[in-house]
Amino acid sequence: MKDTAPTLSSVIPAGRKFTGTDRRAPLRGGLHGCGEYGAGQTAGRFYPIACVALEVTQRCNLDCTLCYLSDRAEMTYDPPLSVLFARLATIHSHYGPGVSVQLTGGDPTLRKVEDLEALCREIRSLNMRSCLMTNGIRASRAFLTRLAAAGLDDVAFHVDMTQERNGFNSEAELNVVRRAYIRHTRGLGLRVLFNTTVFGGNFDELPALAQFMRDCPEVSFVSFQMQADTGRGMLRERPDAITQDSVMAAVEAGYETPLHFDTAAVGHAKCNRYASVVTAGGRAVSLLSAKRLTHKVIAALSKVDQSADGHIDTRDSVWRMVRRNPLLALRAGLHLLGCVMRLGQGLLQGPVRRQSVFIHNFMAADALEEDRCASCVFMVATANGPLSMCVHNAQRDMHLAAPDRVDGPTGPSWWNAAVPRLSGGPDLPDLNDPSLAPLKRLKGQMRAMRRNQKDAS
């Protein structure tokens, strides 16, 4: 196996069990360490991690031009449920109740629906949240109805032009797909999220796409993920025109209002930018315009927060803050009311909704920054515990090949992505060599290379 995976000596999987006393301390320490734990920081203050990805397969039914999976991904086996359950226990050990677990891949809908139902039930039984991360192609209403009944909380649809869907030539044309996916969720009680990769091929359309999202009251969370040179995709380096500032400006142009991305922080500022708005009838108003007031509320909430170990119990903490700081609570309440009133005509044309707007700045595999990886808020579950998503993407094959131990009634068993089922010993084969794989098992740049070789021969 290629041993060129970049390593960051200080950023390694966090282990299969949390051994500390304060689950928020590792992230808080990482952010403190790089000067990112300011008055607006929510990570490490109210929660130990933003979310953890549980990769249930490496297979996908698309071949996006930007893809964080590796060349070997399609030649691996799906982890057995017992391995995934063991990883859920590790996630719970590190982050406790309330953490958001992303069922992802590849595309998780390529797993049997019964497997996903079992995972949703297990996540619910551990008081964690589940989010299905999918391109939506197989996420029919019937499929989502079954998962919702099994305890699924959120569904995040990834729809954009990197997917090269037949018959769609622009992000605007893809809105018909987005609307159809929203219809699939109607009445199921699921929180709906949309992820968009921002790359050279759709950057000009970003304001219009942001406006489309603003005007979808069903959508609670809108995430824009900036192109990164990692994985197997055909597209590599990010164009210079795409920066955090240019993406923030384009999104604000779409929402037609300032979004105050510098008020509240979710991890390192070079990693993530966050905004929160109320919307109604084609209007949006930022809830984070009063920076000093927001920081006072953050400070007051962290003082009364009784759940210092895992995720904050927001309802309980807000109620305690109201009782302890009635004047501050009144000011905050009046600010929120003012925001709603500023929706003006929009109030007559549509329901009032709150929407989170997120810009995620993934790092290139060969340009990992230690301080960012050490204060990462997005983890991936590996055989040896949670690891920063950027680091995992850069070292993916190394972690897919690592033997994962599952303790059963008759003793331990082991698994890695090179084998279809559990084995009696940790001595497992390496991942297959993609250069030996048939064309149909290749994706991204390797597929293109193989095709060119075939055409040239």
Stretch that binds ligand SF4, among 76-84, 338-346, 356-364, 436-444 (CB under 6 A): 356-364
> What's the min distance (Å) between Cβ of 266 and ligand SF4?
8
Q: Could you tell me which of 148, 149, 123 has the C-alpha nearest to residue 56?
A: 123
Choosing from 227, 388, 395, 413, the residue that interacts with ligand SF4 (CB under 6 A) is 388
Per CB under 6 A, which of residues 262..321 are in contact with ligand SF4?
267-268, 271-272
> Does position 363 bind ligand SF4 by CB under 6 A?
yes
Considering only the stretches 174-182, 234-242, 296-304, 386-394, report the one whose residues sit in contact with ligand SF4 under the rule CB under 6 A.
386-394
For 272, the 3-state DSSP assignment is: strand
- Closer CB to ligand SF4, residue 226 or residue 301? 226
**Residue 265 or 287 with smaller CB distance to ligand SF4:** 265
Beta carbon of residue 359, minimum distance to ligand SF4 (angstroms, whole number): 10
For the bound state, the minimum distance from the C-beta of residue 209 to ligand SF4, rounded and expressed in Å, comes to 21
Rounded to whole angstroms, the Cα distance separating 7 from 231 reads 15
Phi-psi region of 385 (alpha: psi -120 to 50; beta: other; left: phi over 0): left
Cβ neighbours for 114, distance < 8 A, ≥ 6 positions apart? none
CB of 381 to ligand SF4, least distance (A): 14
Quote the least distance from Cβ 238 to ligand SF4, whole Å.
13
The binder of ligand SF4 chosen from 94, 158, 372, 447 (CB under 6 A): 372
Q: Residues binding ligand SF4: what is the number (CB under 6 A)? A: 16
Q: State residue 320 phi and psi, 5-degree precision.
A: -65, -40
377 is an interface residue for ligand SF4 by CB under 6 A:
yes
Whose Cβ is closer to ligand SF4: residue 270's or residue 353's? 270
**Each residue of 344-378: b (16+ CB within 10 Å) or e?**
eebeeeeebbebbbbbbbbbbbeebeebbbbbbbb
386 binds ligand SF4 (CB under 6 A): no
CA distance 100 to 124: 11
Q: From 99-107, 151-159, 304-312, 372-380, give the range in contact with ligand SF4 by CB under 6 A.
A: 372-380
Side-chain half-sphere of 109: how many Cα atoms within 13 Å? 21
- State which residue, 194 or 378, has the beta carbon closest to ligand SF4: 378
Cα–Cα distance, 274 to 430 (Å, whole number): 40
CA pair distance 238, 240, nearest whole angstrom: 6
Nearer residue to ligand SF4 within complex by CB, 87 or 360: 360
Peptide linkage before 106 cis (omega within 30 of 0): yes
Q: Which residues contact 447 (CB under 8 A, 6 or more apart)?
A: 63, 439
Q: How far is the CB of 268 from ligand SF4 (least distance, A)?
A: 6
Q: What's the closest the beta carbon of residue 27 comes to ligand SF4, in angstroms? A: 10
Residue 403 CB-density burial (10 A; 0-12 exposed, 13-18 middle, 19+ buried): middle
Nearer to ligand SF4, 279 or 375 (CB): 375
Query: Should residue 431 be labelled a site residue for ligand SF4 when binding is judged by CB under 6 A?
Result: no
Nearest to 416 by CA among 405, 427, 403: 403
Q: Which residues bind ligand SF4 (CB under 6 A)?
A: 267-268, 271-272, 360-363, 372-373, 376-378, 388-390
